[in-house]
């Protein structure tokens, strides 16, 4: 709402009485914070799910590495046995 001042200029009531707007407009940061608060539970669930998957994958990598080590040992043994067989 605006009113005419004495000089013929139009002033808003907020300017005339030195008050802020009655309805505060949210800033971009306020909007971002609101969205983050709303999404926080879903984000935490996703992070927990990812963490569990990561743990499982680490265990699988350990298992695979131990399998590789065992296979390498078996290959060495087989190669050594074959070397002895080839001696005239």
Q: What is the pLDDT of residues 5-49, one digit of tens each?
A: 555 566 666 666 666 655 667 788 888 888 888 888 888 999 999
**Is the distance from CB of 2 to CB of 13 less than 8 angstroms?**
yes
Under the banding of pLDDT at 50, 70 and 90, the label for residue 59 is very high
Residues 12, 1: Cα–Cα separation, whole Å: 6
Residue-range domain boundaries for the chain: 21-85
The better pLDDT of the pair 62, 82 is held by: 62
Residues 58, 65: Cα–Cα separation, whole Å: 11
């Amino acid at each position: 709402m605006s009113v005419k001042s004495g000089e013929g200029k139009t002033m808003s009531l907020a300017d005339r009485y030195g008050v802020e707007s009655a309805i505060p407009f949210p800033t971009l940061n306020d909007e971002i914070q609101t969205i983050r608060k709303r999404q926080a539970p879903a984000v935490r669930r996703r992070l927990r799910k990812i963490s569990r998957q990561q743990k499982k994958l680490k265990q699988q990598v350990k298992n695979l590495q131990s399998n590789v080590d065992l296979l390498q040992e078996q290959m060495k043994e087989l190669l050594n046995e074959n070397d002895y067989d080839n001696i005239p």
